[in-house]
Amino acid sequence: MSDSRVSNKIAFLLKEDVDFIEKMAAEYRLSFQDCRQLEIIASDLRRWDEGTLKTIWYDPENPRVQGKDRRKKAMDAVKDCWENLKSDPKDYSGFKPDYKAAPVDSRLSEQPAGNPILGRCPVASEKTRCCNLQTLDAVINCGFDCSYCSI
């Protein structure tokens, strides 16, 4: 039972989330925009490590609440929970990244400079307005190939 209102084009949206949204779309007769909002919320919950959409889903238990009112109450409850999670202060104390940083292989090499490192400002000329201070060329043969590199 694949509902065309559920797209699964959002990163971190697992099949479990898609299946749940499809089930709720059929049961609550959700609109395309409702399904899209649920996809975003489900993705955010996964990224924030706050569980799944199923864990925050609210089903109004009052048997007199039916149809649009039932859908509105359920969607409002999910959105309220999502907004509360977004507005809570951030806490990274329990954060553990899922990846290991690659070791950086850096090598320093020293070469005697043939030119003095203290020189005239490279933009100074008769056609420019310049204070004619001397500059310190901090990097020689820089890999970024900037036109002007001095401190």
The per-residue pLDDT for range 12-36, each reduced to its tens digit, is 688 899 899 999 999 888 999 999 9
CA 88 to chain centroid, in Å, comes to 17
The mean pLDDT of 94-123, rounded to a whole number, is: 74
pLDDT at residue 150, as a whole number: 46
Is a pLDDT exceeding 90 seen at residue 108?
no
What sign for the dihedral angle of Cα 79, 81, 85, 89?
positive
pLDDT at residue 1, as a whole number: 45
pLDDT at residue 151, as a whole number: 39
The mean pLDDT of 102-113, rounded to a whole number, is: 76
Residues whose CB falls within 8 Å of the CB of residue 25, separated by 6 or more in sequence, listed in order: 3, 5, 6, 34, 35
